Amino acid sequence: MKFSFKSVLLTGWHTFKNNWKFIILLGLATVFAQIIVRGAEQAAIDRSAILSLALWLVSTILAVIISLGWSKVFLNLLRHNHADWNTFKTEPKQWLLYIKSSLWLVAYSFGYMIIAALPFIILGIIGSYADVYWLQIASVIAGIVSVTVVAVYMAIRYQFLAFSVIDATSSGSRELYNKSGSLTKNAWFQLFGFALVSILLAIIGVLCLVVGLIIVIPVVSIAQAKIYDMLKSHHA
């Protein structure tokens, strides 16, 4: 399935324009909450290991809540043309499902990275024993490149995991992980192109005294939700 970058970004722009007050207020609230928790976590590092660990857990759960909350808001804005503070609420079972699905993603990503880097690690060891300096350098560079390629591939392939959790009914975490990956199976290169466009827009936003990011981030995120809905309908 193919989609138009211009079309999905225009959808993101019009949706943002019609709901900009709510989106910006919600954005400020979520950023403020993260700053408070992160600040408390940093302050507790040198005082108490137990308190620091507890705050780290709170920070992690808060990040999950915020990610799922925004995903739900964007989907509601697209599907129902409405979202409010109650829309942001998600259930603990969804948090747990997202965490477990993310752990599958981390596990598989880590495994693929090891497989990709292993040949170059072996070459580096051979170069070290043979005292071939150029082979050591080349193996390190090639290893870094291979790991980066795997990381980018997995990030693009499973970028709709949070949206999939919002729409999940009774799927298990591994099944949900597989479903989110199957959505992008035949659209990876186009999604990669969209990611590059998104990065370019973010750079432009930064150049516009950073204020542009207040517009770019929600517009791109809503466009991403639109792409998810299109892919989901295509695979239905």
pLDDT exceeds cutoff 80 at 210: no
Contacts of 128 (CB under 8 A, 6+ apart): 136
pLDDT digit string (tens) for 152-209?
999 999 999 999 999 997 778 999 999 999 999 889 999 999 999 999 999 998 888 7
Q: Using only the alpha carbons of the chain, give its radius of gyration.
A: 21
Q: What is the mean pLDDT of the chain?
A: 93
The pTM for the full model equals 0.92
Residue 43 has a CB neighbour count (10 Å cut-off) of 12
Task: Please give the pLDDT value at position 134.
Answer: 85
Nearest CA among 171, 234, 227 for reference residue 198: 227
Longest CA–CA span in the chain (Å) reads 66
- The reported pLDDT for the residue numbered 234 is 85
pLDDT given at position 175: 92
Give a three-class secondary structure readout of the chain: CCCCHHHHHHHHHHHHHHHHHHHHHHHHHHHHHHHHHHHHHHHHCCCCHHHHHHHHHHHHHHHHHHHHHHHHHHHHHHHHCCCCCCCCCCCHHHHHHHHHHHHHHHHHHHHHHHHHHHHHHHHHHHHHHCCCHHHHHHHHHHHHHHHHHHHHHHHHHCCCHHHHHHHCCCCCHHHHHHHHHHHCCCCHHHHHHHHHHHHHHHHHHHHCCCCHHHHHHHHHHHHHHHHHHHHHHHHC
